[in-house]
Amino acid sequence: MTRNTAVWFWACLFGITALWGCGNLTAEPVGSDTANELSYQTALSECGGFWVEQYAPPPGDTDDTAEYCGAERLLWTYDPSSGALEITHTRVELNCCGVHSIDFSFADGVYLIAERDEPEVDRCTCVCVFDFGLTVQGMPQEIIAVELERTVTDAPDASGPVWSGELDLTQGNGEIIVDGTPMGYPCLP
């Protein structure tokens, strides 16, 4: 069981509050003329991320906390037997009071992951870390171009491209450091 799958399993088992969304996307695989029907699910953590919800260390144990807070990461796993691609964007720093969403689309040979943050009513005076999860079914086992972007509706300076590059799904899994700057508060208590 992958770490992402374990997170989602335990979140459901213990009733952790996570917002789920579903969608369908008709897309052509990169380098192919045959259209595939891709379906996807999204998962959004509460403040503290999936890691804190399920993997909080015992009091005084900061090794796992330090690893999570050590870098903003894009973690991915691919299952060739099912064509399932799981992507988790960890340690995303946003205002604590916001409505978050994630969407997935395909255009011009690029798979786009679009994260969105907008105020519920008003913003708080605190910052939290969040995790965004995406599971896509029906992905071809090949090298794909991916762009990750974020829109913060009330902060244009915080909006824009986050990461772009390729994922070689033939490798099965990977980790991309989006921001390697270690974070203290709000990630560490």
160 falls within a domain? no
For range 105-121, the mean pLDDT: 94
Q: Give the domain extent around 55.
A: 3-102+124-143+168-179
User: Count of domains in the chain?
Assistant: 1
Q: Report if residue 72 sits inside a domain.
A: yes
Lowest-pLDDT range, 4-18, 53-67, 107-121, 130-144?
A: 4-18
Residue 110 located in a structural domain = no
Whether 69 is covered by a domain: the verdict is: yes
Q: Which residue has the higher pLDDT, 33 or 82?
A: 82
Q: Cα separation of 89 and 127, whole Å?
A: 17
The average pLDDT across 66-74 equals: 89
Reported as a single tens digit per residue, the pLDDT across 143-158 is 999 999 999 999 999 9
Residue 117 lies in a domain: no
Mean pLDDT calculated for residue range 50-60: 56
The residue behind tokens 């005084």 is 60
Contacting residues for 33 by C-beta, under 8 A, at least 6 apart = none
Least confident piece of the model among 40-44, 71-75, 152-156, 184-188: 184-188
Task: Calculate the alpha carbon distances from 68 to 52, 168, 187 in Å.
Answer: 9, 24, 8
